[in-house]
Amino acid sequence: MKAVELEKAYNPKNFEDRIYAQWKESGSFQPKPVKGKKPFVVVIPPPNVTGVLHMGHGLNNSLQDIIVRFHRMKGDPTLWVPGTDHAGIATQNVVEKRLKKEGKTRHDLGREKFVEETWKVKKEHHEIISRQLAKIGASVDWSRERFTLDEGLSRAVREVFVTLYERGLLYKGNYLVNWCPSCGTALSDDEVEHEDLEGALYHIRYPVAGSQGKAYVELATTRPETLLGDTAVAVHPEDSRYTHLVGKMVELPLTGRTIPVVADTYVDKEFGTGVVKITPAHDPNDWEVAKRHNLPLINILTPDGKLNDQVPAKYQGKTVKEARTLVLEDLKSAGLFVREEKISHAVGHCYRCHTVIEPYLSEQWFVKMKPLAEKALAAWKRGEIQFFPQKWEHTYEHWLNNIRDWCISRQLWWGHRIPAWYCRHCGKTVVAREEPLECPYCKSTELEQDPDVLDTWFSSWLWPFSTLGWPKDTADLRNYYPTTTLVTAYDIIFFWVARMIMAGLEFTGQVPFRDIYIHGLVRDKQGRKMSKSLGNGLDPLELVDEFGADALKYTLAFNCAQGQDILIDKESFKLGSKFANKVWNASRYILMNLEGRNLVPNPKLNTVDRWIYARLNRAVESMSTAFTTYRFNDAAQTAYEYFWNDFCDWYVEATKISLKQGDETEKDRATTVLLDVLAESLRLLHPLLPFVTEEIYSKLPNVSGLLITAPYPEYSETRRADDIEAQFASLQDLIRQVRTLRSECTVPPEKKIKLLVRFEINFPYREAFIDAQALVALLANVEHIEFEGLGSAGQTTKPKGTVGLVGKGFETFVSIADAVDQAQLLVKFTKDLEKDIKFRSMLEAKLTNANFVSNAPAELVAQERAKLEDVQERIKKLETYLRDLA
């Protein structure tokens, strides 16, 4: 064989783009049907088409890619469906902002032209997202890419809308909705983000009608401007302070209207004054009170958040903020303002534009969720879906048990147009799969389609089956549905996860996936959510440019513990870069030393070969279990420990004995085994480090084909070698102790030392130690080793000029008298011992302090106890060193 030259420095820019193109062109991302093999299918949580990938996407797609690559290598027909979401509100906002810069609005363009412009923006941003996914190495099947507004998904959306309507699960009605004045549309409860803000509680008097201002009720509100839409005040029916007023009227300040006093158990007697203003068109709780008492509903807002003609003229056209100032001034002038109390309270904001949400009475389309939720709950109770980690089951159950009807209509132009038409002649509503040419009730052709579009989530709740061709009976739907796993963040359990389960059960009769892996959020080192305003965000593409895609993927996996958020900064990604670099350098060393070597069929294995295969076997078992249970950090840690420690630090070093000292036959044998272990190790690491492993794999002389489709290593009972692992662990203990002593005694690298190893009578690895003396000499930089018995059958005195080390079943005496300045070393160890004794005293004082132990977090107490154990071990060792040196 000839030596293979890898570049001296690991530089992912030299090969990552080339390798991705090779994977894509070879069809490696497409599933290969295998008889008797169950497919592994993942649908990507579709990113908003106008967005760019942030660190949340980087994490989510990295984790999906890891398990997809693992299952692909396991031989499962593996499909990862890519796609993007049309993101109604977000995308329309992007286009409207562009128009605003030109001094235009969407109404200047008209609906058709505006939608055309939006499609252009979609195309532009979609290409950016596709490039980004490729850049981070996402092995999605691009031939099956979908978009929530493409023809097939639009057909699915219309089919679902009409079917729900036919089943009595869809209705239109006046209802109090969350309204975004900026976006000009209704939002579902899940699209409202609550944020604590500083505000005030305003105390106001409402005079009792007919009392000439001598009697009044006092109440408190955070929104005094809404009193203009009050239709009652409420008190608790058992509140003796107000029972005499129930059924009477009070004067509504500033309006000239009178409103009734009603009794309702909704009122908390202990909160505030025990009197509550009822504004049913602008508060969800008041809405429920109004239904119980048959109160009128007065909407005082326009769609853009200004006061309408239902209020006195002086307030009309004012914004909510302006109206609040005016109302407070007028209340003070009328002597009806009592006081202002500063408070902090939760205020709803639009999840897209962050405008304050207004409860707003509006006619909208709704889905009846309770019947759907009952099926989704039953499926979970039957064990048809499983959450990782399990704790999210409780969140799922709670939300479904407390679900409200879903407002699905949006007052936008970009999205799926609602398939409902209104007959101008007879007034009937026609809901149809195809556009009707005439009214089925009166045969009139005067039909007008509903101007609204459907909530974006109405298309994405169908994503697992609509992307596979439903409602058509396609081959993909038959072969790949239900899908296998959903990977998503916990912030969209309600938005998306639960709704997909409901839709899957309602329209296919099956849950859309079995496993639901919920990962945490990416936060900065201080635990803060990454955001533009804080300036603490990380761009995954910039990280790929600096460290490589493998470093991004590996670092995120290494830090992704189940049930926890990920705290990282830019420096964190050096971990992944260093590991990829280690894989590169170790492989480079092996490939550089192939000159003149020949591969040997069925090479005989020596002890160290059997040991590395046993260690590899353990890593295979551990990582396979970790991947199938979504414990990404466990897989990443196992990979690191196996490759860096077992393979590089021990095995590769051990093979140098054969490669440097053996005859030609031994060199060929050792090289063959080394290459085989390297090839299998690259297959083991591929899901976590796909690019660097593929590049190295392509250079190996003992393999063919692409690594992405090579078989993942299989755990084998025949590779287990517990006894050899145990004897090698004992040998490692000896070598580590000698290395540590050399370091602590600052023995120069060029100084070779001598060892005397004494064995206990029943030590089981005596012969193994003697056989491995060349390995010990190499790895511990030792020039001579002697072995003898220990105890009654052998020597017990300590040789002069040595430091003793104790292992399990053996003692080692290291001769360092000629290698160091003993006097200087005595001074150093004495100082170290004094320092450690002081540290031990401090820790013991802390851990005997009852206040600390009972009040400090359990994790901190455990850390302090671990420190105490460590320092006690150091003290014991230093005392031994000092005794021996003296």
Distances from the Cα of 717 to the Cα of 45, 610, 725, angstroms: 39, 13, 14
Residue 822's CB is within 10 A of a number of other CB atoms, namely: 15
192 pLDDT higher than 60: yes
Q: For a pLDDT cut of 90, what percent of the chain falls above it? A: 66
pTM for the whole structure: 0.84
| Residue 792 clears pLDDT 50, i.e. is over it | no
Q: What single DSSP character describes residue 191?
A: G
Q: Are 278 and 231 in contact (CB under 8 A)?
A: yes
Terminal alpha carbon distance of the chain: 56
| Cβ partners under 8 Å of residue 168, min gap 6 | 368
The residue with tokens 């962050």 is 354
Q: Contact 260/214 with Cβ under 8 angstroms?
A: no
How far apart (Å, rounded) are the C-alpha atoms in residues 771 and 246?
99
Q: Which two tokens stand for residue 28?
A: 């490696």
The per-residue b/e assignment along 206-218, b for 16 or more CB within 10 angstroms, e otherwise, is bbbbeeeeeebbe
Cα angle, residue 498 at apex, residues 495 and 500 outer, rounded to 5°: 90
Q: Tell me: pLDDT of 368 over 90.
A: yes
Tell me the CATH number for domain 185-359.
3.90.740.10
Res. 176: pLDDT tops 80: no
Identify the H or E element spanning 187.
strand 185-187
Partners of 485 in beta bridges: 42, 515
133 compared with 862, residue with greater pLDDT: 133
Residue 604 DSSP class: P
Q: How far is CA 486 from CA 456, 500, 736, in A?
A: 19, 10, 44
The residue ranking higher by pLDDT, 288 or 509, is 509
Q: List pLDDT tens digits, range 324-333.
A: 999 999 999 9
Distance, in Å, from the CA atom of 88 to the CA atom of 411, rounded to the nearest integer, reads 10
Crossing angle of helices 653-661/664-685, nearest 10°?
A: 150
Q: What size, in residues, is the chain?
A: 886
Is the pLDDT assigned to residue 112 strictly greater than 90?
yes
Report percent pLDDT > 70 for the chain. Answer: 97
Determine if the peptide bond prior to 39 is cis (ω within 30°). Answer: no
> Do residues 71 and 40 make contact, with C-beta atoms less than 8 angstroms apart?
yes
pLDDT surpassing 50 at residue 572: yes
| Average pLDDT of span 215-220 | 92
| pLDDT value for 348 | 76
pLDDT of 663: 93
pLDDT score recorded for residue 336: 95
DSSP string, 91-125: HHHHHHHHHHHTT--HHHH-HHHHHHHHHHHHHHH
pLDDT higher at 848 or 796: 848
Contact 590, 652 (CB under 8 A): yes
**Residue 672: which pLDDT band, with cuts at 50, 70 and 90?**
very high
Among all chains, which residue has been given the structure tokens 């879903």? 406
CA 362 to chain CA mean position, Å: 36
pLDDT at 407: 87
- Please, are residues 787 and 769 in contact by the beta-carbon 8 Å criterion? yes
Q: What string of DSSP letters covers 230-278?
A: --EEEE-TT-TTTGGGTT-EEEETTTTEEEEEEE-TTS-TTSTTSEEEE
Decide: 83 and 47 in contact? Cβ < 8 Å. no
Structure tokens at 174: 């006046």
Q: Angle CA(138)–CA(143)–CA(145) in degrees, nearest 5?
A: 70
pLDDT of residue 195: 74
Cis ω before 389 (30° cut-off from 0) = yes
pLDDT digit string (tens) for 407-464? 899 888 999 999 999 999 999 999 999 999 999 999 999 999 999 999 999 999 999 9
pLDDT level of residue 190 (50, 70, 90 thresholds): low
pLDDT of residue 188: 67
- Amino acid 678: pLDDT: 98
508 with 465: CB under 8 angstroms? yes
Looking at the predicted structure, is the pLDDT value of residue 302 above 60? yes
State the SS3 of 835-884: HHHHHHHHHHHHHCCHHHHHHCCHHHHHHHHHHHHHHHHHHHHHHHHHHH
pLDDT band at 279 (very low <50, low <70, confident <90, very high): very high
Distance (Å, rounded) from C-alpha 46 to C-alpha 83? 5
pLDDT, one tens digit per residue, over 35-76 is 889 999 999 999 888 777 889 899 999 999 999 999 999 999
Q: Is 100 marked as binding a ligand?
A: no
Q: Which pLDDT belongs to residue 877?
A: 75
The string of pLDDT tens digits covering residues 375-406 is: 999 999 999 999 999 999 999 999 999 898 99
Q: Is 706 exposed, middle or buried (0-12, 13-18, 19+ CB in 10 A)?
A: middle
213 pLDDT above the threshold of 90: no
Question: Residue 532 corresponds to which amino acid?
Answer: K
Mean pLDDT value across residues 474-479: 96
pLDDT in tens, 811-860: 888 887 666 667 766 777 788 888 889 999 998 888 888 888 888 888 88
pLDDT higher than threshold 50 for residue 280: yes
Tokens coding 812: 């080692």
What would the two tokens of residue 444 be? 């009139």
Architecture per CATH, domain 548-555+568-683+690-701, reads as: Orthogonal Bundle (1.10)
Buried b (16+ CB within 10 A) or exposed e, 569-597: eeebbebbbbbbbbbbebbbebbebbeeb
pLDDT tens digits, one per residue of 126-166? 888 999 999 999 999 999 999 999 999 999 999 999 999 99
| Single-letter amino acid, residue 427 | G
Q: Could you give the CA distance from residue 187 to residue 826 in angstroms, rounded to a whole number?
A: 75
Residue 480 contacts residue 79 (beta carbons within 8 Å): yes
Sheet holding 185-187, edge to edge: 185-187, 170-180, 358-367, 406-407
Q: What are phi and psi of 262, to 5 degrees?
A: -115, 155
Task: Return mean pLDDT, the chain.
Answer: 91
- What gap in Å lies between CA 748 and CA 230, rounded to an integer? 87
Under a CB-based contact definition with an 8 Å cutoff, are residues 572 and 681 in contact? no
Looking at per-residue pLDDT, the higher value among 794 and 629 belongs to 629
The CA distance from 540 to 45, in Å, is 17
In whole angstroms, what is the distance from residue 398 CA to residue 403 CA? 8
pLDDT of residue 794: 52
Cα(288)–Cα(219) distance, rounded to whole angstroms? Answer: 19
Residues with Cβ < 8 Å from 338, sequence gap 6 or more? 203, 204, 205, 218
Among 676, 621, 622, 674, smallest CA distance to 651 is for: 674
CA distance 290 to 217: 20
| H or E stretch covering 564 | none
Spatial CA neighbour of 204 closest among 239, 252, 237: 252
Cα distances (angstroms) measured from residue 383 to each of 283, 380, 393, 620, 628? 39, 5, 11, 29, 17
When the candidates are 3.30.465.10, 3.90.600.10, 3.30.1330.10, 3.40.50.620, the CATH number that belongs to 31-158+461-545 is 3.40.50.620
Burial of 17 (0-12, 13-18, 19+ CB in 10 A): middle
| C-alpha 816, offset from chain centre | 53
Which CATH number is 823-885's, of 2.40.50, 3.30.70, 1.10.287, 3.20.20?
Answer: 1.10.287
